[in-house]
Chain A
Amino acid sequence: MSEKVAIVGAGHSKFGTRRDVNIPELCWESMRPAFESANLEPKDIDFFVVGNAGIWSSEAAIPSLMAEYADLAPKGSMRVEAACASGSAAIKVGYSTIISGEADIVLALGIEKMQESPNPNVIELIGRFGSYFWEFENFGLTFPGYYAMYGTSYMFKYGAKEEDFALVAVKNHYYGAKNPLAQFQKEIDVETVMKSPYIAWPFKLFDCSPITDGSACVILASESKVKELGIDEKVWIISQGVGTGTANLSRREDFTTLPSARYAAEMAYKRAKIDLDNPVKYLDGANVHDCFTAPEIIAYEDLRFCKRGEGVEWIREQQTYIGGKIPVNIDGGLKAKGHPIGATGVSMAVEAYKQLLQKAEKGRQADINKGVWLTHNVGGTGHFTYVTIYSLSKGVVI
């Protein structure tokens, strides 16, 4: 058994509308910089795993496709799917494979090419990521619709306004404008959000993350391999918590919180020996799953950054900008960076790597004092949540 697992290389494609590349070319765009930063080659990989939801795109057997394209055959592999958390699921497989001692170097790739299908088809297919029969078939839910019911409930319970949700989009576009790999690199204001058309009330177009093509890649290595190769630039995975929620929203009791996220966060904090009552004190920043604006606010609460109902105050007070209590989604988040479903979790890991090693672009680099970063990646509407804690050292110290 390996003691620890580190990210030793990371790569990230340009996110957006990528009509200029096919699926293997888009994968390679993040794999090559991952190999280069790790100073490794395809032959060094013991095992690889691909996070991909697929269905809207042409290739189903992406691990094999990449074995062919990138000389990874005959090494072991698999494709994993956990909806919008597929990328974190890929990291989990890589992490567990190394921890178990089955492999020393694992490549985890996240890829989604959603724009191989027309937008209406993608809207239809994402709407099916819930309970197919009891929600989609008979009631035509869409993905914004599922989360909009959380937004409505949060407004009912805590008196939040649509303008408050808009502040999340304003923040994430502000940082997206500083990230050259983001889909949207334009700052917006509250008025832009409020004037955009309704998608699923109370969410408007600018409350929603876009339909995105993109890939992200990390190379994970065991502690002994890190020593053997003398790798200096690395970020350790300290812990990971995973939770699952019911398929039917109607089987849940509260629409202002995701129990799967609370469970995953508690598990990750306990394993990392982080105080459940004040996790912010241990962290330099976080990436949370802002597939829509309201869920970012709910994430602050599920992650115990603040108390239930206080998340809306946090966004009003700009507590999640650089200089606030904890910077969140300073790569633009899903909202502005884009949300290629299978790639998002790996993209968050790449961002943790960049932030902790102080490689982020000017204007969006957090102060790294504690050397710890958190990612919160939700699949479906809290159907799966992965919370992962990354650190410059092999444990969390305060």
Chain B
Amino acid sequence: MSDVKIEEKIKEAGLPILEDEKTGAQQWFDVRELRLKYIISVEKTKQFFEGLKQGKLLATKCKNCGRIFFPPQVDCPSCLRSDIEWIELKGEGTIETLTVIFVKPPSFNHFDPYTVAIARLDEGPRILAWLRGDPKKIKPNQRVKVKVSRREKEEYLIYELIPV
């Protein structure tokens, strides 16, 4: 229901109550609106974002046991240590699965339908990202490489998968 219609109804009848178009049942249209935007700390993973600025895909590696984490995490549950190093991933791998998002969340409505894929990187970890190109041409085990660039329409740096 449009805000204008609700405001008109309040003016006319003194209440934000309108009939449901399909069922005719009486509905109160909320007069309170909430906009949600979170503030997420990247302090401990700031190197990852520094890497993006240089076109690199970074992961973390536990200095003690050698376990590699992507998405990066700074605490190793295998050895209960938080002594990690940042390593660059080559960014080459193989497609394992994909989907094409036709019905988008409203916050992604400014994009055309987009392909999301999961690839297994040669170093072991998997990566989920948008896949460039025609999804119909993708066969199982298609090789891809990761590319960092400013995403069109939003201008912030993010990684995507490019078939090779």
Contact = CB atoms under 8 A, between A and B. Distances in A.
Interface of A: 17, 19-20, 58, 120-121, 123-124, 127, 131-136, 138-142, 144-145, 148-153, 156-157, 197-203, 248-252, 255
A197 B116 CA distance: 18
A149 B118 CA distance: 8
A135 B128 contact: yes
B14 to A, nearest CB: 21
B126 interface: yes
Contacts of A255: 96-97, 118
Contacts of B96: 153, 255
Interface in B32-79: 38, 40, 70-71
Contacts of B101: 140-142, 145, 200
Given A17-B22, A58-B30, A140 B114 contact: yes
Main secondary structure of the interface of A (DSSP, over half): helix
Nearest to B106: A120
Main secondary structure of the interface of B (DSSP, over half): mixed
A127 B102 contact: no
Given A140-B101, A149-B99, A198-B102, A17 B126 contact: no
17 contacts: A19-B25, A20-B23, A58-B30, A123-B103, A133-B71, A140-B114, A140-B116, A149-B97, A153-B97, A157-B140, A200-B99, A200-B103, A202-B99, A203-B99, A250-B70, A250-B71, A251-B126
A201 B97 contact: no
B23 A19 contact: yes
Contacts, number: 101
B29 to A, nearest CB: 11
A17 B98 contact: no
B106 A134 contact: no
Contact of B104 (A140, A197, A250): A140
B100 A198 contact: yes
A19 B20 contact: yes
Given A20-B25, A135-B128, A249-B128, A144 B103 contact: yes
Nearest to A120: B106
Given A145-B116, A250-B126, A140 B111 contact: yes
Contact of B102 (A149, A156, A201, A250): A201
Nearest to A146: B99
A365 to B, nearest CB: 31
Nearest to A147: B99
In this complex, the member of B20, B22, B128 whose beta carbon has the largest number of chain A beta carbons within 10 angstroms is B128
B123 to A, nearest CB: 13
A26 to B, nearest CB: 13
Contacts of A136: 105
B128 to A, nearest CB: 4
